[in-house]
Amino acid sequence: MAVARNVKPPKFNDVTGAIRALAMDAVQKANSGHPGAPMGMAEIAEVLWNHHLRHNPANPKWVDRDRFVQSNGHGSMLVYALLHLTGYDLPMDELKRFRQMHSKTPGHPEYGYTVGVETTTGPLGQGITNAVGMAMAEKLLANEFNKPGHEIVDHRTYVFMGDGCMMEGISHEACALAGTWGLGKLTAFWDDNDISIDGHVGGWFTDNTPKRFEAYGWHVIADVEGHDPKELNAAIEAAKAVTDKPTLICCKTVIGAGSPNKEGTHDVHGAALGDAEIAATRANIGWNYPPFEIPKHVYEAWDARTKGEGLEKLWNNKFAEYSKAFPKEAAEFTRRMQGDLPSNWLEHAAKAIAQVNEKGETIATRKASQNSINALQPALPEFLGGSADLTGSNLTNWTGAHHVSGKKPGNYISYGVREFGMAHIMNGMSLHGGLLPFGGTFLMFSEYARNALRMSALMKQRVIYVFTHDSIGLGEDGPTHQPVEQTTTLRFIPNMDTWRPCDTVESMVSWVASVERKDGPSSLIFSRQNLAFQKRDAAQIANIRKGGYILSEAAGGKVQGIIISTGSEVDLAMKAQATLASEGIYVRVVSMPSTNVFDRQDQAYQDSVLPKGIKRVAVEAGVTGLWYKYVGLEGAVIGMDCFGESAPAPELFKHFGFTVENVVATVKKVIA
C-alpha cells in the first residue's frame, strides 16, 4: 500500500520503535484500541516531541509550556507512550492497564485522568477546535501582558489530526476562524493515511484539503513525507517562521507502519494486531524486546526532564524580571492563570446584587443578563465574551467591550454562525487558563453545540453559556425557533448547572454563581420578553444561590399546596397564588431557577422548601417529564409536550394553557 500511494516508508529504529511496540502491545493486552495511528505517526511524534516541543515533564502545568493536542483521540496510545517515554508521571504499569477500570490510560485521552493530557479528545474534530481556543488564548494574553523585552506569554500549540477530524464539520468552523484570527503559533499535522474504519477514504473524502486550508488563510505545507524526519523537521521550522498564519503540515503516512501484513489497511485502524502479526512486526521493525520493556538507551533518547527543567528555569528567571518591572501586571497574571477571583470579588458581587434589587426593574432577563455583565466586568478583566452572530439579540456585549476583528485582539468575539465551534473554542480557552469565556446564542441553537456542552461538563471547565429566547415567548418565529425540550435536556447533562431566572435579581445571582463555579460549566437561560420584578427580603436573596427557595409564603397559616415555577412562569404562579388566596385557598410559591443546584442541597433544606405531604403543581413553558420528580404522581405539571406555533407570544401562552385561570384550576384539582 505504501508503494501504491507513493509514500516513502520509515527507516525503523529503536526510538520510534518504542512507540510502535508500546501501542501494539497495549492494544493487544487490552484486546481493544487503535494501534494504526500511533504506529503511522511515530516519526512525526518523535521529531516534534524530541526537537521542538517546549514542556517540562516534572511540571505539566507550567504556564508557558507548549500545548499538545491529539485530536485523533482514538490513537491515545500515542500520547500515552510519549508521556511515559519523556518522563511524565505515567508509569509502565498504567500502560499495561490501557482501557481498564480506573487506569490513567483510558480508551481516549481524558483531561484530569492523565498527567500531561491537555484536553479530552475522541469525538473527532473537537481537539483541533480546542487547540484553536488555546492558541487564541495565548494570543490574547500575550497582547494583554507582554511588554517590550518581557515576553512572558510565548508558546505554541501543536495538534495531531486525522482524516476524521478533517471531515467533521466542527473542524471547518474552527479552522476558518483560526485563519481569520491569524493564529501564527498554531501548527496542525494532518495524518494523511487514506484510511478510516470503513476503509480507503477515497469513496467519501475527496476534498482538496491543502487548497481548502489555504482558502481559510492558513500557511499550508503540502506533500510532506510523514516518515522522513528531515522533511518533518524542515516543515516545523517553516511553520515557526510564519508568524501571522496558522500552519497545516500535510503528512503522507502509512497507517500501522511496521505491521508487514496489515499496514496501509483498515484492519490496523481499530483492532489488535494479533499475536502472529505482532511477532512479525517486531521482526520487521527490529524491536527485539519483550512486551512493555524499554531498554535504557531508548529511555535516554526520549528523556525530556533535564531539558524541560532548564526551559522552565529560564522562564522563571524571565518572569522574575517581569515581576520587578511590572509588579501589578505580574500579580494579575498569576491570579488569572491560577483561576482565582479578585480579592474584592465578594464585595463587588454583593454590591451588584443589592443594586439590582434596589432598582427593581421589570425587563427581559436577556437585558438583565447584559446589565449583570456590565456590573461584573469591571472586577473581571478575564471576561472574554462573545456570540454566534446574535450579539444584538443575546446582549452578551457590554459597555467598553473591544471586539476581536480579524487579527486585531480584543475581549469580545463575534464567532459568526458557528455555535458548535464557539462552544469548543471556549473550552480550549478555559483549558488554557487566564480567561473566563462566555458565549451566547438562542436557546434553540444549543442543539448545534450540544456535544461541546457535554464536553465542558465532562472536563469540568468554567465556561458560561448564555442562551436567550427561551420558550414559546419567542413568538412569531415559530416552532423551529421555540425551545420546548432544551432547558430540560441541559439540566440532564451531568455536572452542568442550568439556570432559568425569573427576574433581574435571579439573573444577577445566576451570573455570580456561574463566575464563582470552578468545577464545571453553567448554562444561563434568559427571556426575550419582559418579566416582572419580584420582591424579596435578604434571606430570600441569599437562598437563590441554593437553586430553589420560597419566593412567596402561603397566607393564612397552613400551606395547602405548592406551586413550583421558573423563569417567565414565576409571575404567573404569583398571580395564581393571589387569585387562590382571594378564594380562601393558600399556597406557597417556590421559584426554582436551578434544579441542579437545588438537588445538591441537604435534605433538610429541600424538605423546608418542599415539605412532604403537601401536594404540588409545577409550571414551566417546556416539556413536563422532569417536573414529576418534584410534584410526584399525585401532583400536576402545566407544561407542553408538543412543539409550538407561530403567533404573538401572548396568544401562544394562552393557547398552551399558561394562564392564571388554568393554574388556579389545576391547583384546585390537585389539592381537592
Rounded to an integer, what distance in angstroms lies between the CA atom of residue 618 and that of residue 608?
17
Dihedrals φ, ψ of 67, to 5°? -100, 135
Distance CA 385, CA 413 (A): 6
CA distances from 669 to 140, 552, 634 (A): 59, 21, 11
DSSP 8-state symbol, 129: H
Does 225 participate in catalysis according to the annotation? no
Q: What are phi and psi of 339, to 5 degrees?
A: 75, 15
* Residues whose CB falls within 8 Å of the CB of residue 148, separated by 6 or more in sequence, listed in order: none
Q: Is residue 252 within a helix (H) or strand (E), and if so which, with residue range? A: strand 247-252
- Dist. CA 371–CA 355, nearest whole Å: 11
Closest CA to 503 of 573, 559, 444, 455: 573
Distance CA 131, CA 427 (A): 9
User: Between the CA of residue 319 and those of 136, 327, 329, 334, what are the distances in Å?
Assistant: 21, 10, 11, 10
User: Rg (Cα) of the chain, in Å, rounded?
Assistant: 28
Do residues 565 and 573 touch, judged by C-beta distance below 8 A?
Answer: yes
H-only helix segments in 295-396: 296-302, 305-325, 327-338, 345-359, 365-376, 391-394
Lookup: cell for 79: 500520547
Going 620 to 621 to 626 to 632, the CA torsion angle's sign is: positive
Count the neighbouring beta carbons within 10 Å of the beta carbon of residue 161.
Answer: 25
C-alpha cell at 411: 475581549
Say how far apart CA 405 and CA 407 lie, in whole Å.
Answer: 6
d(CA 107, CA 100): 8
Q: Which amino acid is at 149?
A: G
- Of 419, 506, 569, 620, which residue is the catalytic one? 419
Look up residue 485 and give its DSSP letter.
S
Q: Is residue 519 within 8 Å of residue 461, measured between CB atoms?
A: no
Q: Could you tell me whether strands 199-200 and 219-225 are parallel, antiparallel, or unpaired per DSSP bridges? A: unpaired
- How many other β-carbons are positioned within 10 Å of the β-carbon of residue 630? 21
| CA separation, residue 216 to residues 192, 231, 435 (Å) | 19, 24, 26
Cβ burial, residue 561 (10 Å; 0-12/13-18/19+) = buried
CA distances from 544 to 5, 167, 595 (A): 63, 44, 11
| Nearest alpha carbon to residue 605 among 626, 627, 625, 590 | 590
Main-chain dihedrals φ then ψ at residue 103, nearest 5 degrees: -80, 165
Catalytic residues: 419
